[in-house]
Amino acid sequence: MAIIVNLDVMMAKRKMSLNELSEKVGITLSNLSILKTGKAKAIRFSTLEAICKILDCQPADILEFKPDEK
């Protein structure tokens, strides 16, 4: 997939666990885990906004576009 999720990097920089972020954002641990591992097919803007607010970052710090190499 061309979208890379760097949520684990931002969480490490903020020294925040998956459980703590899940509680603060208000989404299930399993859904946050799916997002963190890059297996999510979509993310709501409201969820992205909440994550950015809690981690004090920009969406581009979490999501990155890398075109598929041919």
Q: Where residue 1 falls among pLDDT bands split at 50, 70, 90?
A: low
47 occurs within a structural domain = yes
| Residue 4 dihedral angles phi and psi, to the nearest 5° | -105, 130
pLDDT at 58 over 80: yes
Supply the angle between the helices 18-25 and 45-55 in degrees, to the nearest 10. 120
Residue 9: CB atoms within 10 A of its CB come to 13
The confidence score (pLDDT) of residue 23 equals: 96
Q: Which domain holds residue 52?
A: 3-57
* Number of domains observed in the structure of the chain: 1
Q: Which of 59, 56, 11 is nearest to 32 (CA)?
A: 11
Element (H, E) at 18: helix 18-25
What CATH number does the domain containing 45 carry? 1.10.260.40
Tell me, yes or no, whether 67 lies in a domain: no
Q: What is the pLDDT of residues 5-46, one digit of tens each?
A: 999 999 999 999 999 999 999 999 999 999 999 899 999 999
Phi, psi of 40 (to 5 degrees): -70, 145
